[in-house]
Each structure stands twice: as structure tokens, then as C-alpha cells.
Structure 1
Amino acid sequence: MTNHAARVETWLDERAEEMAGLLERLVAVDSENPPGRALGRCARVLREAMDHLGLAPEIIEIADPSGELEEPCVVRGTAGEGDGLLYFHGHFDVVPAQDRGQFTAARRDGRIIGRGTADMKGGIVSMLYGAAAARELGLLGDGRIVVHLVCDEETGSVVGAGHLRAAGLIDPAALAMLTAEPSGGAIWNAARGAVSVRVDIRGREAHVGQADLGVNAFQHMLHVARPLERYAAEMAGRHTGLPMNAADAPGTMIVVGGLSGGGSNFNVVPGSAFFTVDGRYNPEEDLEGELKRLTGLVEEAAREIGAEVSVRTTQLQPSAGTDPGHPAAVALARVVGEVQGAPARFEMCAGILETRWYAQLGIPAFGYGAGRLDVSHGPGEYVDEAAMRRCAAVYARYAGHMLS
């Protein structure tokens, strides 16, 4: 181990309890999204921690057109003052818990267990301490790290990361971007795109005693949804050519009916019904073309039975990717390999990543974090404490390599 690497490792090991304590405080803030609660409260915890670490934090209040998010904001901080720029990016909203007990972190067998530990409050802790280590140990040279922490990744990220893009807060001249998503130690250099729609069906209500006078929107919904199930099966069979984790399916993944509902009472012919379609499309697919095809299937099925439907696009986000041969990718792989003691592996993320907001501006962008995707949204979500520190070491050393 070089002296440089040893200094980073020692610095982080001396702050292991601090890192664990910060994660426990973050887990205790129930920043579930949806509905988007406690976002301002979580941001203030982060600002306090970043101030303690000398990262010059500020909270940027932002508007939510839907009005659903509670105190939507971005937390922004900086380490260093030079011209060279590296972005660390994360999100502090979490998916809804299966049990309220998940907001009390538990430490067992080297792990911290609780909602958001893997996705991605544990990753945020790694990034903050990695940035602070790089600054305190003089690794930044003539460069700086800018930390962006956003509030709405779990519901599309248009409000948070979208604001950064729209407000010109992402500099296209940046050397690279890292986000601490739960990649399990792999480097996610690519991610799928997303298409999400909501299908609404209108019928006519009638009392069950006069059901013949009604138009059953639920029955129409069943007919309209059927070809979409066949479409989902077809797309699952169209495999990507990019490397993926062996546990992840290589085909485009589509969920029909993730949300559905309708009707007003058990004894009334339902006069309305709705369902959603959510897809994660491989980079090889034409998203605009597939959205048009998906909408066409709904409209054709509706015409067959005279159903009245409308289709609303709720998400259309492109895939993102950085060539593993790019110098920023090669440098990251070398640092990861040195810290982990094993060759780094590049993979495509099975979902979508906020790397896309940076990649669209030509910035090399990667997901790399200590958490594991397969536990991230489940009742036993956890992050390994030693892996958190290893990732923080990667962030610090990568910053040193790119900026010094």
C-alpha cells in the first residue's frame, strides 16, 4: 500500500464511529418518497454534517409543480477551490418502508440495517467523508469537488436533478461525476432508460340492480391491458449486449398494473378505472418508438370494444452510458481495483440512474457504491460498514487522481 493510500485509509478508520453515527441519524429521518415527506428535515441534518466536515453547504429551495413534496430542496457543498471539477451526486429520499421500525437503525455483525442504508444514505455518508478526506489530506491540487444531494430520485428526479440541469448548476466542463448508488462494488457505467404511462378508462356508473345500464370500465381495462402483457413478455426477450450482474435479467423489464384502481363502491358498475405501465428499457431500444408502440396497443385494444381511454406519459427518461475505455473510466477502475484488492468490473445498472443528467452534457458519469441493489428496497435493507469506508476511500483517491 502506498503512503497516499495508507493516509486515506487511516483517516477514514479513525472516523468509523462518526460515519456510522451520521448514517443512524439520517436513517431516523423518514424521508419516504412517495409521498416526499421530511425532505427539508433530512436536508438540515445533511447541512449540519457537511458543515462539520468543512464542505461549505447550502440548501437550495426548489419548486415542485405537483405540490406533493414536503420542502423540496437540493443540498450543495464544495471541497477545494481549484478550476478542475468533479461531481459527487446522491439522493436523500428513500422508498416507503415495509415497517416503521426500519427508521431506527440497527448495528449488527458489521452492518447497519434500516431504510435507506443501501439506497443511498450510506452512500451519501461515504461521499461526504471521501470528499472531506480528499480536502484535509491535500489531495485536490488545483481542483474541487462539488457535492449535489437531491430530494426526489425515487420518483423520477425531475424536480431535484432536473432543477440542477435547468438552472445551469451542472458545468459541462466537469471531469467526471460519481453517484453512490448501491452497485455492490461494481462500476455502473451504463443504465437503462425509462418509459412510464398511466392509462385511464371511462365507463358509466349504474346500480348493480340496473347493471345493464352501465358501462363497466373495469372490464374494459382488462381487455386493454391484455396486449400489454404480451408486449412485456416480448420485450423481456430482447436482450442487451452490455455486461450486467448475473442476477439481473438482460431483457427490457416492464411492469403492467403496478398501480391500478377505479370504481366507487362494491355494488356500483365502475365508471372509471386506471392502471400504470412502467418500463426499464435497454440502451439499444428507441424510447420514442416504443412509447408510440405502447400507446398504439392501448388505443387499438380500446377500439376493438369501443372503450373510451386516455394515455398519459408520466416518465420518459433516456438511457445513459460512458465507454469503459474513457480515461475517466480507466482511472476509476484502477482506483477501485487497488482499494478492493480485485479487478474492477463494469456493468449496466438494471434500472435508471441520475448519471443521465450529467451524461447528456458530455460528462463521464458512473454509479459506484457500497450498498447492494438486491436488498435496497426490502425489509432487511443494510449496508456493510467496512464497504462504506472502502467506497469513501475510492471517492477520496479518485478525486486525488482526477484533480491533482
Structure 2
Amino acid sequence: MEWIEDRADEMAELVARLVACRTENPPGRGLPECAAILHDAMDRLGLAPEILVLPGDARVVRGAVGDGDRIVYFHGHFDVVPAQDPAQFTAVRGGGRITGRGTADMKGGIVSMLYGAAAARASGLPEDGRIVIHLVCDEETGSTVGSGYLRHAGLIDPRALAMLTAEQSGEVIWNAAKGALSLRVTVHGRSSHVGQAFKGVNSFLHMLKVAAPLEAYAEEMSDRRTAYRVSPGEAPGSMVVIGGKSGGGSNFNVVPGSTYFTVDGRFNPEEDVEAELTRITRLISEAALQAGAEVTIDVTQVAAPAGTTLDHPAAVLLGECVTEVTGAPARFELCAGCLDTRWYDQVGIPAFGYGPGLFEVSHGPDEYVEEAALHRVAAVYARYANRLLHHDSGTWPRNSTP
């Protein structure tokens, strides 16, 4: 912690430089510039960075500490959701906080990870140990370009001991995250002027019939319960929103020839997202057939859930490190959203979210991160990497989401 706090100004300055990069996603701007800043910062910290240039402006920044075969991954993303005001891209430091777009989700967390990796090296990694850092550019739009590339290019070693991502958990350990499923349903009709409405096919009225069965489906999913711990005030069921976006038609006096609505769900780790996609598609198709409607279903997101049990040695060790740094018992909870932990979970790596930002301020107009939290989280990452890589993991169990 002393090593980290001696670099408090450096950390705050790097957060501010990253915030100034307008990496709003969508549309995915500013990614090469931000990748270059990360590369330079990692180089100064001795983290052996490289930039992977992907199609378009997509970038992945990789780095490493150590040369061994026993690996722990630090993973993060440097894209942010669109700002409510351009002023959010000027970081404001004061009162122990840094305020600005991305400070919580998760440019502040990236800084904690980078300085945590450097602190781990300074305190002595074992010769057979290695920290590998992955920073991707498209988490806010599904991660298929960045994390998906890492997975499919074989750059995620399934033998790794654990993965950490400094998402905005508020120093709670997210040992599980929900899966995600998003669809856009377009109902087709035939346009006609109101004076000849009998010649048209009203896609809006058909849409009401097509969407109707999904109300009962959403209620059923919300009644299901997860075995993972949830934050107080959070729902233990899977959440589904029907019609988060909807629209269609060309004018008030024209029979609408095309109408659409969206379906978006966050599913508990016990659920099979692919099976739920099949079920939703069947409900829509059967309702359309009964209504005599023509529909098109576009799947815009499919993301698996992730989960590591509390008794897994990687989870137990992480909890111990959090307690040692913070002086308080570690809290484990299910993240109400979707995390990049899934890309590591899928190949059997125990994966966790643990970061300094707060979930409730992320994406909002007053997003901030506490500087003291940046330092504590960096210390947890350093301690965890060293403890993990010194740990006898000869019988380390592979992860398996229930």
C-alpha cells in the first residue's frame, strides 16, 4: 500500500488522461488514441505492452509481468457509454474523488489494475508466475471484437489460475454475473392511407398480439431464484424487458406497414441463455402464426452467464486478500449485469469482478471514483497475484458454471 500511495498523483493523472479520451461506444471513437496512452503508461510501469490492431479502429492492449507458465489475468475495457455532457470528458479531482465519464466504469479500475500489477512485481513474483493484462475496446457493445478475438485466437490460456476485472463493484467481489440476451422483433404489414385503411395490414395491431405472450414469460423468469448471493435491494430472479424500444409507421394518417419492439433479458447463472433464446423465438413465432402476422427476429446480443462458487480456492484466497487490505470481511455477490468474466469462465478459469467504482453512479452524469478505493483495489490485485502465484495449485479445480 505504501508503494501505491507514493504514486497517488501518478494514478490520478493517468485516470484524467484516460477520461479525456472520448472513447464513447457506440460508435467506438477514440480507440487508437486511448490504446496509445495505455501503451505508454504500461511501458513506464514495465508491463511489456503491445497493441493488437483489429479491423476498423478496434484495439486490444496486452501486457505482462513475469515469464512463468502459471498465469493470472487482469482484464479491463477502455470504452465508455456515451456522455450526457461533453464536460464529462474533463476529469475533476477534488474531495478525494475523481469525477468524469468512465472513472467508475472502468478507466479508474484499469489504473488500479496496472499499478497493482507493477506493485506485485515490486514485491516479488515467483519465477514460474506471470500476470497477463488484457484491455479491450468494446465491452459496452458486447465484447465480441476484443474479448472474442482473444478467445478465438487462443490468447486466453485455459490453464490460468484466475481472472480479475476491475469493473465497478464498489469493492464487493462479483463471483458471478448474469447472461444477456437481446432481440429486435419487426412485424411486417402493408401501408395504406387512412381513407383506404381497409386495403392495409396494420403492423401495430399485429405487434400487440405478437408481444402479448412475452408478458407472462417475463413474469415467470422474474419469479425464478438464483443460488448466488444478491445485493440488498436487487431482485434474485432473471429480468426481462419487453419493448424497451419500439416504433414504426410513417405518419399518423397511414396504416403502419412496419412496427418493431425489442426484448432484452439478464439471466441468472443457472439459466441456459441459448435455451431461453429458443423459447422466446418459439413464443413469438407461435403468436405470429396465430395472428396471421409476418415477423422478422434479429438477435443482437447473446452472452453467457458466469459463476464461481464461494468454496473454490481462487474465491477463498481472493476473499482473504480483500480482508487483509481493507480490514473488513469480504462480500461476495452476483453482478446484476453482464461481465467479461464469461469469456474466461467458458474455458474453465475462475473469474471475478472487483473494482473501485460504484455500480449506481456508472453511466450517469455525475460518475466518479474515490481515490482511496483506487489505492485499496490496486493493493488487493497486487496481493492476490502474489498469493495466487505462490499457492500450490496442483489440484486446482477447473471452473464450471452450474
TM-score w.r.t. length of structure 1 = 0.93
Q: Distance in 1 between matches of 2:325 and 2:232?
A: 23
Amino acid at match of 2:302: L
The residue number in structure 1 matching 2:238 is: 252
Amino acid at match of 2:150: L
Offset, 1:265: 3.7
The residue number in structure 2 matching 1:378 is: 364
Note the alpha carbon deviations across 1:210-251, whole angstroms, 9 max, x for none.
333222222322332222233212211212121111132111
- Matching residue within 97, 108, 119 for 2:83: 97
**Equivalent residue pairs, number:** 390
Q: Equivalent residue of 1:302, what SS?
A: helix
Q: What stretches of structure 2 of length at least 5 have no aligned partner? A: 391-402
The residue number in structure 2 matching 1:52 is: 44
Offset, 1:45: 1.4
Please, which moves more after superposition, 191-200 or 124-133? Answer: 191-200
Q: Equivalent residue of 1:209, what SS?
A: helix
- Matching residue within 188, 191, 209 for 2:195: 209
The answer on whether the counterparts of 1:198 and 1:314 sit within 8 Å (CA) in structure 2 is yes
Instruction: State the superposition RMSD in angstroms.
Output: 1.5
Does residue 106 (structure 1) correspond to residue 102 (structure 2)? The answer is no
The answer on whether the counterparts of 1:240 and 1:284 sit within 8 Å (CA) in structure 2 is yes
Percent identity, please: 66
Does residue 289 (structure 1) correspond to residue 275 (structure 2)? The answer is yes
Amino acid at match of 2:259: A
Q: Distance in 2 between matches of 1:15 and 1:208?
A: 69
- Matching residue within 350, 354, 370 for 1:364: 350
Amino acid at match of 2:4: L
Distance 1:265 1:38, change over 3 A: farther
Aligned residue runs from structure 1 range 213-224, under 5 A: 213-224=199-210
The answer on whether the counterparts of 2:187 and 2:295 sit within 8 Å (CA) in structure 1 is yes
Note the alpha carbon deviations across 1:294-349, whole angstroms, 9 max, x for none.
11221222223211102222222221111221111111110001111111121111
The residue number in structure 1 matching 2:35 is: 43
- Matching residue within 323, 326, 336 for 2:322: 336
Q: Distance in 2 between matches of 1:32 and 1:266?
A: 35
Does residue 74 (structure 1) correspond to residue 60 (structure 2)? The answer is yes
The answer on whether the counterparts of 1:134 and 1:140 sit within 8 Å (CA) in structure 2 is no
The residue number in structure 1 matching 2:21 is: 29
Q: Equivalent residue of 2:259, what SS?
A: strand
Offset, 1:115: 1.2
The residue number in structure 2 matching 1:67 is: none
The answer on whether the counterparts of 2:210 and 2:291 sit within 8 Å (CA) in structure 1 is no
Offset, 1:146: 0.7
Amino acid at match of 2:134: H
Q: Distance in 1 between matches of 2:274 and 2:5?
A: 48
Offset, 1:101: 1.7
Does residue 279 (structure 1) correspond to residue 265 (structure 2)? The answer is yes
- Matching residue within 309, 333, 337 for 1:323: 309
Amino acid at match of 1:168: G
The residue number in structure 1 matching 2:341 is: 355
Note the alpha carbon deviations across 1:244-289, whole angstroms, 9 max, x for none.
1113211101122223232334443221122211111112223233
The residue number in structure 1 matching 2:396 is: none
The residue number in structure 2 matching 1:160 is: 146
**Displaced runs of 4 or more, over 6 A:** none
Does residue 269 (structure 1) correspond to residue 255 (structure 2)? The answer is yes
Amino acid at match of 1:62: L
The answer on whether the counterparts of 1:141 and 1:400 sit within 8 Å (CA) in structure 2 is no
The answer on whether the counterparts of 1:256 and 1:277 sit within 8 Å (CA) in structure 2 is yes
Q: Distance in 1 between matches of 2:373 and 2:188?
A: 51
The answer on whether the counterparts of 2:70 and 2:128 sit within 8 Å (CA) in structure 1 is yes
Q: Equivalent residue of 1:284, what SS?
A: coil
Offset, 1:140: 4.5
TM-score w.r.t. length of structure 2 = 0.93
Distance 1:45 1:277, change over 3 A: same
The residue number in structure 2 matching 1:400 is: 386
The residue number in structure 2 matching 1:309 is: 295
Q: Distance in 1 between matches of 2:57 and 2:161?
A: 31
Aligned residue runs from structure 1 range 218-233, under 5 A: 218-233=204-219
Q: Equivalent residue of 2:230, what SS?
A: coil
Please, which moves more after superposition, 393-402 or 209-218? Answer: 209-218
Does residue 125 (structure 1) correspond to residue 117 (structure 2)? The answer is no
Q: Distance in 2 between matches of 1:171 and 1:183?
A: 25
Amino acid at match of 1:45: I
The answer on whether the counterparts of 1:201 and 1:274 sit within 8 Å (CA) in structure 2 is yes
- Matching residue within 143, 152, 176 for 1:190: 176
Q: Equivalent residue of 2:254, what SS?
A: coil
Q: Distance in 2 between matches of 1:206 and 1:300?
A: 27
